[in-house]
Amino acid sequence: MKRRERCLLLLIALAVLPAAAAQTQAASGFGRFHALVIGNQNYTNIKPLETPIADAKAVAEVLEKQYGFTVELLLDATDKHILTAVSNLRKTMTKEDDSLLIYYAGHGFLDKQSGVDYWQPVNAARDNDVDWVPTSRITDMLKVIQARHVLIVADSCYSGSLLTRDSGAKLASGMEQDEWLRRMYQKRSRTAMTSGGEEPVADGGGSGHSVFAKAFLDALRENQKILDGDGLYDKIKRPVALNADQTPQYSDIRKSGHEMGDFLLVPKELHETELQKQPERGTDLSFLQRSDGDKNLQPITMEGKTVVEKGKIPEKVVVEEVAIPKEVVEEVIKKLESGNADQPESKTIGQYIDHGNGTITDTVSKLMWKRCSEGLSGVNCKEGKTETYTWDDAVKRFKNAEYAGYSDWRLSTIDELKTLVQCSKGMKDKNSGRCNDWSERPTINQQAFANTKATVYWSGSPYADGAWYVSFLYGHSRICNRSSTYAVRLVRGGQ
């Protein structure tokens, strides 16, 4: 298998559609889908490549026929062709609910002194970057367009310099999967998928395609459901790693406006699918009330309806599709009758002890954790919203923080944070800690740590210029750029 020098094969998936295509493609439940596919192979001043045109044509075909994209195909494009196409996207990508995918296959270059990545058009000079296309032009475009989602897939050497983190896998089925996809669709995303890090990648070796392009095409052709970027990455990373000396990566694109969403690939027959909103989990029992002058349970009403009749404890109370078991109602009533309703009471949840004051003790690690993620509060962590921080800000802000009578709260080490991962279907990868597919999300004890989002949490453990995190979507731990903004859960004790 020959090793190609091409340093950039990019697939950018953006949520938009050019004005010209808007006239021919009807909007689906996910907006309209457009693809700009570029394959550069027959270079005039640099060594020609073998597979970019075949890769680009095959990608264009599967996107159009299977996923309903309107495709614009550029083969052996000059710098003028590429920049004009990108400029047009900036002018026409104005709809928030449409999707665009840009695929670039060809030579690229990373200037290690300046840190600048380039796409190299077919007219690129060997030792002069005057005609090269800096990828910063793409990043700048991503910041200003109205598209909700952006995905860059790069089959190239040195493409890993675009990334800030890795991820992978897919979510559970049924309503849980629908809820996850709905949330990913609603939030803006600017992500990149690459065939490797800062290393050369194979040109060929994939039955007429590059190893990465073949795995990418196989994943798209075999898929029959709504697939997010993380799920696509999970399907291709192992085949690539097994057949070439390169390891794919998946990440958000730094400084591009990423907001923790993800790109969705939707087969044509599912374009009208509606992602159902999942009922909120957990129940706020604050509506249980009684009169101080009456020893009998008083009627409990909600929105004008009686849900508990006077003097009776029903088998369950149903409020907005959430059932409250009889024993829970009885426990609350006992508190009300004893006058201790406001006093914290400890309870055991598996290996955890909930002290009733917003703190949780792990009986195995002996660590005490805050029950709520930073930014959340209340009985079930339903008040406020999960805040995110850069790593440096989080370490500084939460050094010896005060809470619940303690003044030694801090960010956990990576080993401490990994102890919170709970894989309901077992662990898939012991090295990264990633849970098996179909494990419940988030991958944490949701009774002990209420309202935890299936997202990334910082640890306090640095690594070179980056830092370690744990993803409670998949359970894995990775190193990423410290400038990324992620959630935080504080701990005390240990060390």
Per-residue DSSP letter, 179: H
Which of residues 165 and 240 earns the better pLDDT score?
240
pLDDT at residue 273, as a whole number? 73
Residue 156 sits at the vertex; the CA angle it makes with 152 and 162, to the nearest 5 degrees, is 45
Which of residues 479 and 256 earns the better pLDDT score?
479
Residue 328 lies in a domain: yes
| Residue 167 sits in the same domain as residue 306 | no
| Residue 327 sits in the same domain as residue 433 | no
pLDDT band per the 50, 70, 90 thresholds, residue 254 = confident
pLDDT at residue 407, as a whole number? 92
| Residue 352 sits in the same domain as residue 334 | no
- Express each pLDDT in 6-26 by its tens digit: 544 444 444 443 444 444 455
Q: What average pLDDT does this structure show over 303-330?
A: 49
Which of residues 407 and 174 earns the better pLDDT score?
407
pLDDT at residue 200, as a whole number? 52
Residue 279 lies in a domain: no
pLDDT band per the 50, 70, 90 thresholds, residue 218 = very high
Q: What average pLDDT does this structure show over 301-314?
A: 46
| Residue 126 sits in the same domain as residue 172 | yes
Residue 278 lies in a domain: no
- pLDDT over 90 for what percent of the chain? 35
Q: What average pLDDT does this structure show over 348-352?
A: 91
Which of residues 285 and 66 earns the better pLDDT score?
66
Token digits of residue 307: 């849900």
| Residue 308 sits in the same domain as residue 405 | no
Q: Where are the beta strands (DSSP E) in 243-337?
A: 249-252, 264-265, 300-302, 305-308, 316-319, 322-325
Residue 280 lies in a domain: no
Q: Which range marks the domain in which residue 481 is found?
A: 348-492
* Whether residue 171 has pLDDT greater than 50: no
Lowest mean pLDDT among 63-67, 125-129, 242-246, 343-347: 343-347
pLDDT band per the 50, 70, 90 thresholds, residue 103 = confident
Task: Please compute, for residue 380, the number of CA atoms within 13 A of its CA located in the half-sphere on the CB side.
Answer: 11
**Which of 270, 293, 325 marks a domain boundary?**
270
Query: Is 473 within 8 Å of 441 (Cβ atoms)?
Result: yes
Token digits of residue 434: 């990633």
Give the H/E segment covering residue 11.
Answer: strand 8-14
Residue 420 lies in a domain: yes
Lowest mean pLDDT among 125-134, 183-192, 200-209: 200-209
| Residue 330 sits in the same domain as residue 355 | no
Residue 276 lies in a domain: no
Lowest mean pLDDT among 119-123, 158-162, 457-461: 158-162
| Residue 250 sits in the same domain as residue 183 | yes
- Total domains in the fold of the chain: 3
| Residue 198 sits in the same domain as residue 300 | no
Residue burial 376-401, b: 16+ Cβ < 10 Å; e: rest: beebbbeeeebebbbbeebbeebeeb
| Residue 322 sits in the same domain as residue 359 | no
Residue 214 lies in a domain: yes
Calculate the average pLDDT of the chain.
78
CA dist., res. 15 & res. 270, Å (int) = 17
| Residue 310 sits in the same domain as residue 245 | no
Q: What average pLDDT does this structure show over 42-57?
A: 93
Q: What average pLDDT does this structure show over 180-203?
A: 74
Query: Is 209 within 8 Å of 192 (Cβ atoms)?
Result: no
Token digits of residue 123: 């007219």
| Residue 330 sits in the same domain as residue 423 | no
pLDDT at residue 379, as a whole number? 84
Which of residues 398 and 92 earns the better pLDDT score?
398
Residue 275 lies in a domain: no
Q: How far is CA 441 from CA 118, 350, 455, 470, in A?
A: 38, 18, 9, 13
| Residue 15 sits in the same domain as residue 111 | yes
Q: What average pLDDT does this structure show over 140-167?
A: 68
Q: What average pLDDT does this structure show over 246-272?
A: 84
pLDDT at residue 255, as a whole number? 76
Q: What average pLDDT does this structure show over 234-257?
A: 83
- For position 38, which CATH number holds? 3.40.50.1460
Backbone angles phi, psi at 464, to 5 degrees: 50, -125
Q: What average pLDDT does this structure show over 54-59?
A: 94
- For position 369, which CATH number holds? 3.10.100
**Which of 270, 301, 325 marks a domain boundary?**
270
Sheet with 133-134, edge to edge strand ranges: 108-111, 116-119, 133-134
Match 């406020």 to its residue by tokens: 384
